[in-house]
Amino acid sequence: MASLNKARFVAPNATLVGKKLRVGEGTWIGYYCLIDSQLAPLKIGKWCDISSGAHIYTHSTHLRCTERGGKVVGPVVLGDHVFVGANSVILPDTEIGHHSIVGALSVVRGAFPPYSLIVGAPAKLKAKLKA
């Protein structure tokens, strides 16, 4: 995929699905990651680290399965210099501001400003990092 040419590293067993993915220069995508941009845009900024086992989704079918509703579809944007901890999950309709950290094993959905420390399941803003 042409958009990955600027990535510093994409693990050979990472799974990147969909044509709506944009990855910035110097970004690292670790082993066993799943990056799914099949239904909505997914943008990962410059010099991000996506740790091993992280999953990033632009859609979910949980409503279809539980309430006979439709899919949840929404874009995901990670700003520049974002670190995503191991085995975290980033859900549709999420925007993480630049220079933020997502703690390991977090489940993230929503909008978070730059310099955020985001942790937990569900993830919450734990602290503001120093600029």
Parallel, antiparallel, or unpaired: how do β-strands 34-36 and 55-57 relate?
parallel
Give the per-residue pLDDT at 2: 40
pLDDT of residue 30: 97
- pLDDT tens column, 35-68: 999 999 999 999 999 999 999 999 986 555 666 6
Return the pLDDT at 62: 59
pLDDT of residue 5: 64
For 97-111, what is each residue's pLDDT tens digit?
Answer: 999 999 999 999 999
Q: Which two tokens stand for residue 79?
A: 């700003």
CATH code of the domain occupying 2-128 = 2.160.10.10
Residue 1 has pLDDT above 50, yes or no: no
**Domain edges within the chain:** 2-128
In sequence order, which residues have a C-beta less than 8 Å from that of residue 2 and are 6 or more positions away?
A: none
Instruction: Give the pLDDT of residue 67.
Output: 67
The DSSP bridge pattern shows strands 101-102 and 83-84 to be parallel
CA–CA dist 14, 94 (Å, integer): 21
**Mean pLDDT across the chain, nearest whole number?**
92
pLDDT of residue 70: 72
Q: Is the pLDDT of residue 13 over 90?
A: yes
The set of residues, in sequence order, having a beta carbon less than 8 Å from that of 68 and lying 6+ positions away, is none
- For the cut 80, the answer to whether the pLDDT of residue 3 exceeds it is no
* Residues near 15 by beta carbon (within 8 Å), at least 6 away in sequence: 33, 34, 35
